[in-house]
Chain A
Amino acid sequence: MVSGPNLDETAYVRDGANQTPVKILVVGHFAVGKTTFIGAISEIPPLSTEETMTRAGESVDDLKGVNGKTTTTVAMDFGRLTISERVVLYLFGTPGQQRFVQMWEDMARGALGALVLVDPERLADSFAVIDLIEQYGLDYAIAVNRFDGSPVREEKALREALDLLDDTPIVACDARDEKSSAAALITLVRFLQDRALQEQI
């Protein structure tokens, strides 16, 4: 439903005047659990937005063309979590589709890092997303979203199959579970800290 301009008080960032907004991406192939994951963590009902498919630098004037190609839209969904009086965290989720360049640039710019959700039964579907994340230079961790009955894979086999670096964290996760999802995020953030330390040396 379209919300009116008057929102509930809880819709607003609690301490926006003092908080620094930061974001983490939650990516993965179609139906891997991104929306479920964001919903498990978010303090607001997850929202989604559509981006008009214009290329960088292109004027919105081009929207007047009713040609389906320039006006295709794509959804990304996101949620919010108040971290402290100083920081508010946004989680952005989107399927990894290279052709949505503007959306990926918007999402990746300034992101702390990315959590890549992976279904061990559909590993090959994750290659494109991981490529994209690497292309944008984002540090990432892998969260293996084990759907019921999916095969248990050795971490080493997974690492080889996905061609991951030795230090890329791999964590098991049930996106439906708040604690499990938070634990995956914590793993990512600890890894990002390590990376920040390395960069400083």
Chain B
Amino acid sequence: MTPMTDPDKPEPEAAELVRPYVITKGRSLPDDEQFSLITLVTATLDDRQRPNRLSPEEQNLLTMCTGGYLSVAEIAGHTRLPLGVVKILLASLVEGGYILTRPPVARAVLADREILQEVLDGLRAKFG
């Protein structure tokens, strides 16, 4: 896979910088609790049931989410859209009932310890 950042690429032009505003239709960022980098997202419907009044970017996101679960960060990575833009688009798709989210675990001490043990066991099993 080619690196996502091309050091030779010139600074973005003004026209490109305006694009995110257009894509998001000027909507503002959803609050931090709704989408973290690792919130898992998936489409609720299959392709055939999709309404066509969604924007091309929303359609693309939805198609991408139809194959299974992806984190918000992965969606931004695959689409190469800025994270803020991805969050805004996802928020509107959630509102429309087209996608659903699995938030990261609530941070309780006990849950943390269970998870740490699971991570440790998993790393050992894979690389030990």
Contacts and interface: CB of A to CB of B under 8 A. Distances in A.
A63 B102 CA distance: 29
16 contacts: A7-B78, A11-B67, A13-B69, A13-B70, A19-B69, A20-B104, A21-B104, A47-B78, A50-B82, A58-B29, A59-B28, A60-B27, A81-B122, A182-B128, A196-B113, A196-B116
A13 B73 CA distance: 12
A36 B117 CA distance: 26
Interface of B: 1-5, 11-12, 14, 17-18, 20-21, 24, 26-29, 32, 36-40, 42, 59-64, 67-71, 73-74, 76-80, 82-85, 88, 102, 104-105, 107, 109, 112-113, 115-124, 126-128
A5 B38 contact: no
A11 B115 contact: no
A107 interface: yes
B64 A7 contact: yes
Contacts of A87: 115, 118-119, 122
Interface stretch (A117-125, A126-134, A143-151, A186-194): A186-194
B1 to A, nearest CB: 4
B80 A2 contact: yes
Contact of A48 (B4, B64, B79, B119): B4
B61 to A, nearest CB: 7
A71 B17 contact: yes
A29 interface: no
B79 A16 contact: no
A182 B118 contact: no
Contacts of A22: 38, 104-105, 115, 119
A16 B42 contact: yes
A86 interface: yes
Contact of B36 (A110, A112, A199): A110
B4 A16 contact: no
Contacts of B26: 60-61, 64
Contact of B78 (A3, A59, A84): A3
A78 interface: yes
Interface of A: 1-7, 9, 11-13, 16-17, 19-23, 44-52, 54, 56, 58-61, 63-64, 66, 68, 71, 73, 75, 77-78, 80-84, 86-90, 92, 105-107, 109-110, 112, 178-179, 182-183, 185-186, 189-190, 192-193, 196-197, 199-200
B84 A60 contact: yes
Task: List 3 A-B pairs, minimum CB-CB distance, nearest first.
Answer: A16-B69, A47-B77, A12-B68
Given A47-B77, A186-B127, 8 more contacts: A12-B70, A60-B85, A61-B26, A66-B14, A77-B4, A87-B122, A179-B127, A189-B119
Given A84-B118, A193-B117, A196-B109, A3 B79 contact: yes
A189 B38 CA distance: 19
B115 A112 contact: yes
